[in-house]
Chains A and B, each alone.
Chain A
Amino acid sequence: MEDKISNINDKLIIAGRSFQSRLLIGTGKYNDFKETRAAIDSSDAQIVTVAIRRINLGQSPNEPSLLEFLPTNKFTYLPNTAGCYSSDDAIRTLRLARELLDGHNLVKLEVLGDPDTLFPNVVETINAAKILVKDGFDVMVYTSDDPIIAKQLEDIGCCAIMPLASLIGSGMGILNPWNLEIIIDKANVPVIVDAGVGTASDATIAMELGCDGVLMNTAIALAKNPILMASAMKKAIESGREAFIAGRMDKKLYSASPSSPIKGLIK
């Protein structure tokens, strides 16, 4: 395995932008915007994903919007293409997002292949990534945990590779750590686990594997206490990062080794 020297003070760098927090948070499924903001504050996350949708024309002019609760000068927005099943739809959505956010070009590309599993359609994802990168977008890309596809997306120019740990919203945790390790080992851009985290230990495992960050939504939003879970996730990410850099001991399946001295036993 290639040696990558990491330091605990290293920041997460995505397309030249620097972040202290390695936890990225989705803003869906919360009870209200107040709870969304409280959870994000509790997590210390700096990057928040948002969806792009038709605005509700019937709403009263004073109805609060997500943008008011999460000011764009305080958080880095990551508009996504959730719900898009073709490269054309994803590209159209992100161009509108760029106009909405005054030229902000950091985006999350996801092109889905199936409404039951929400597995990504990697062919459409690759097609969209090529066009978006050429069009000046910094593309963080949701993909399967296939190391070949991950490398192709990096070669196209995506600024972060975001493989699933398990299905979106499933909370099933890290189902294939070996594939993630291969992706991390081969990548020269940040690898961020996106989807599947259920609880704090899942986030720690992802970071212990050497992921550069974790993106999650449901694990926090649908916890019994989202604000407390957001705090747990912050610690889990930090803990896993420290363990990764500290370097774990070798596993010794058949040779137990006592931690206390053998010499000087009372007989």
Chain B
Amino acid sequence: MKININGSTKEFGGEKITAEELINQLNLNGKRFAIEKNGEIISKTYFRDIYFNDGDKIEIIGAVGGG
């Protein structure tokens, strides 16, 4: 299964993966970020219930220095 995350394609095993599992695999536990799936924001409360499938486009964003 291929998922596009922040503009790069990443390969995952299985047919689907929850947002929570994806966060674990990307070592993002404990970090502050927000996730968008195919243009829709995924609320933190649904990380266990939302699945990502082959071809999904995910954005994971955070705050950086800026004016």
Contact = CB atoms under 8 A, between A and B. Distances in A.
A169 to B, nearest CB: 8
Interface string A223-264: 000000000000000000000000000000000000000000
Given A61-B27, A96-B36, A100-B33, A53 B60 contact: no
Interface stretch (A23-31, A127-135, A144-152): A23-31
Nearest to B31: A65
A229 to B, nearest CB: 15
B6 interface: yes
A33 B63 CA distance: 12
Secondary structure of the A contact surface, majority rule: mixed
Contact of B64 (A50, A57, A92, A169): A50
Contacts of A195: 67
A99 B34 CA distance: 6
User: Interface extent on A, as a size class?
Assistant: 35 or more
B14 interface: no
A79 B65 contact: no
Interface in A167-194: 168-169
Nearest to B39: A92
B66 to A, nearest CB: 3
Give the size category of B's interface with A.
20 to 34
B66 A55 contact: no
Contact of A82 (B28, B43, B61, B66): B66
Interface string A53-66: 11101000100011
Contacts of B33: 55, 100
A65 B62 contact: yes
A59 B23 CA distance: 14
A123 interface: no
Given A53-B62, A57-B26, A95 B67 contact: no
A67 B32 contact: yes
A52 interface: yes
Nearest to A100: B34
Contact of B63 (A50, A82, A216): A50
Nearest to A69: B65
Interface string B28-46: 1111111010010101100
B1 interface: no
A29 B65 contact: yes
A100 B61 contact: yes
Interface string A86-120: 00000010011101110000000000000000000
Interface of A: 26-30, 33, 36, 49-55, 57, 61, 65-67, 77, 79-80, 82, 92, 95-97, 99-101, 168-169, 195, 215-218
Given A28-B65, A53-B66, A66-B63, 4 more contacts: A52-B64, A54-B6, A57-B6, A65-B31
